[in-house]
Structure 1
Amino acid sequence: MTTISVSGGAFAAYQVIVGRGLLQQAGARIAPLARGRTVIITDETVEAVHGAALTASLAAAGVQSRIVAVPPGEGSKSFAQLERVLDRLLEIGLDRKDVVIALGGGVVGDLAGLAAALYMRGIDFVQIPTTLLAQVDSSVGGKTAIDTPRGKNLVGAFHQPRLVLADIDVLATLPARQVKSGWAEVLKHGLICDAAFFDWLAGEGAAGAKGDPAALERAVIRSVEIKSAVVGEDEKEAGRRALLNLGHTFGHAIETEVGFDEDALAHGEAVALGCCMALRYSAREGLCSSQDAARVEAVIAAAGLPTRLDQAGAFEADGLLALMAGDKKAEGGALTLILARGIGRAFVAKGVDADKVRAFLIAEGATG
């Protein structure tokens, strides 16, 4: 079991605990934080698999709990579900001493975290991520949000959790596609700033993409270490934290164009494709070698993830470009991309020439 501290000048420090059997220990670990009641926000699928174990653990530690379940899928990151969750919290009568627990993947974590941020101007919440993607990415760092038809995660708040429990055992219940989707975010961390980690992921560590528990545990620990260091320096993405969005500007635009249809394209799949596109664009602009871009594509393909635009569907260059211009990192309508000077050497590129990006999208297979 490994404990990683997340701390920064603007928020209270908290722990991310990575290990096995943590769901059964959750009650004892949450009890010191829960001075009153807890409400578990989850989705209907996760409730059926893990809800009873969590409520039993809380009860054994003397912690009262209620469950609020939303439909599974990206569609629950919406104004309608946010309103429904907040109304249930009001109906239950939570006060500022009570705690919200997010039990689920990134959708649940984002929705529950935003509800906790808004409820009575902010109450404590705990993340218990049940997907690999959530364990290595969305549960750490305090980003909470919902989607709108105009884009992904455009309405939200920064609200740090009090505790994160990343139980490796729960990953065994995931479909293979979800494990691969989360693996994209793991690979992303290596591409940003740790070439040696990427090398391990491309070799011995590749077993994690197939569900090997030991490889998954090491991958989660290193990913959280990387993310916690970045978040501690830059909580609100004023600078270095933007690096964590490698692949996301391309990926979010593609996700929006397919209507957030996870059957067509899961979030991690979009990130994987976006990372490949970011490396290929970097190579096209002479920022990194074509060999690095090709290696990244080969490693991502070997993990069973998409690497080419036509694997996600048919797209128009202008439509994708318009969505990229509306990305949260854009400034004054000018494009900001996370690009790379090589594996492990990502950087923030501001004021990127939109005409060059449009030409690149057409070269990638989008229609002009």
Structure 2
Amino acid sequence: MNTHIHVGTGPGAYDVRVGHGPLRELAGVPAVAAASRVAVLHAPRLRDTAARAAALFAGRGLRPTVIELPDGEQAKTADTAARCWGTLGQNGFTRTDVIVGIGGGATTDLAGFVAATWLRGVPWIAVPTTLLGMVDAAVGGKTGINTGAGKNLVGAFHPPSAVLCDLDALGTLPAADYTAGLAEVVKAGFIRDPTILDLIEADPEGARSPHGPHTRELVERAIRVKAEVVTQDLREQGPREALNYGHTLGHAIEKCEGFTWRHGEAVSVGMVFAAELARLAGLSDDTVVRRHRSVLDAVGLPLRHPGGRWPELLDAMRVDKKARGNTLRFIVLDGIGRTRVLADPGPDRLAAAWARVSG
């Protein structure tokens, strides 16, 4: 039985379907009914899954076009998007045709961006196959690509017609990729749903496994957190900023490390940094900091970043989407489950927080 989690209101609302084998529902997504063509964009290791999806569509009388993307963050470039646009043009894609993205968060980010920009917006369906993609990247309608200036600085809000999360795919992930995805699950626990933290603390070994006794509950709880926040604030004008907890430093680490750090690894360090920053600002206490460190360490995520890069990281954070002019703004906690913005914490406080997570 698949769980349907509703996201949004009005004409742009959609369901995230979670379970074992929801790919079978792909051809039945309402947006497909009006289409005559479908483009299946996929990560390299998912050729077989893409072929099955194409066969499902062909069986419904659609003309499938399969486009293989580069792996990981290498897919999220203007060059890759342009190659996809060219293929869509060659195959006569119209405004009622459909794009499907099958893969991790980078793949669904790129597929959604191509869908948002082709003919100023065509329907698309996300089929995330990684934990990160299921609980974060594919849910919420944020699409984008990276540039030399930073991560996700070019993009569009373009909600999918559906998100299909097949829990069976999690068992095929490399252990390090699954662990990295847990950062976004932990984040959901800290910003909105402490039961997630309780489940991890009660059985950290089970939490580290895609076959753990609480895996489905952890995934669904994390998705519900994002769905609730996105429904309140689709375009990140207020409450949705909470979802960026740990991401200001996290994105800076990714950029400065040339995307050799996994997103979740960088966000893990970013959350510890944000917890230290909140403690230094008098908004939180040692107990909250210790809980960050213990929960993240229990699932195998890093708590520190090698030192020596602070000026470079600070410059990268100044290009963060939450910055306003020359003012750095951080999402912090003033208690478990409660977020707020900390604006302009000052160079000394920033350096002190960095000292706690560097080296």
Q: TM-score, normalised by structure 1?
A: 0.92
Residue in structure 2 matched with residue 219 of structure 1 by the alignment: 218
What amino acid is the match of 1:330? A
- How far did residue 32 of structure 1 move? 4.5
Measure, in 1, the Cα distance between the counterparts of 2:55 and 2:182: 31
Task: Could you tell me which runs of 5 or more consecutive residues in structure 2 were left unpaired when the two chains were aligned.
Answer: none
Does residue 278 in structure 1 map to residue 250 in structure 2?
Answer: no
RMSD: 1.8
Does residue 111 in structure 1 map to residue 120 in structure 2?
Answer: no
What amino acid is the match of 2:235? K
- How far did residue 64 of structure 1 move? 2.9
Does residue 356 in structure 1 map to residue 349 in structure 2?
Answer: yes
Residue in structure 2 matched with residue 287 of structure 1 by the alignment: 283
Residue in structure 2 matched with residue 6 of structure 1 by the alignment: 7
Residues 298-349 of structure 1: CA deviation (Å, up to 9, x unaligned): 1111111101122xxx442221111111100001120110111222222222
Measure, in 2, the Cα distance between the counterparts of 1:19 and 1:34: 26
- Label 1:350 to 1:206 Cα distance change in 2 as closer, same or farther (>3 A): farther
Measure, in 2, the Cα distance between the counterparts of 1:208 and 1:59: 38
- How far did residue 41 of structure 1 move? 0.7
Q: How does 1:1-368 map to 2 (within 5 A)?
A: 1-8=2-9, 12-29=12-29, 32-47=32-47, 49-204=48-203, 207-212=206-211, 214-261=213-260, 265-310=261-306, 314-365=307-358
- Label 1:356 to 1:205 Cα distance change in 2 as closer, same or farther (>3 A): closer
Measure, in 2, the Cα distance between the counterparts of 1:78 and 1:326: 18
Identity of matched residues, %: 38
Q: Judge conservation of contact 1:28–1:57 (CA < 8 Å) in 2.
A: no
What amino acid is the match of 1:8? T
Q: Judge conservation of contact 1:16–1:164 (CA < 8 Å) in 2.
A: yes
Q: Judge conservation of contact 2:129–2:165 (CA < 8 Å) in 1.
A: yes
Task: Could you tell me which runs of 5 or more consecutive residues in structure 1 were left unpaired when the two chains were aligned.
Answer: none
Q: TM-score, normalised by structure 2?
A: 0.94
- Label 1:85 to 1:243 Cα distance change in 2 as closer, same or farther (>3 A): same
- Label 1:72 to 1:304 Cα distance change in 2 as closer, same or farther (>3 A): same
Q: Judge conservation of contact 1:340–1:346 (CA < 8 Å) in 2.
A: yes
- Label 1:315 to 1:147 Cα distance change in 2 as closer, same or farther (>3 A): farther
Q: Judge conservation of contact 2:204–2:299 (CA < 8 Å) in 1.
A: no
Q: How many residues align?
A: 358
Residues 11-56 of structure 1: CA deviation (Å, up to 9, x unaligned): 5111111111112332234674452111001121222x42232223
What amino acid is the match of 2:26? A
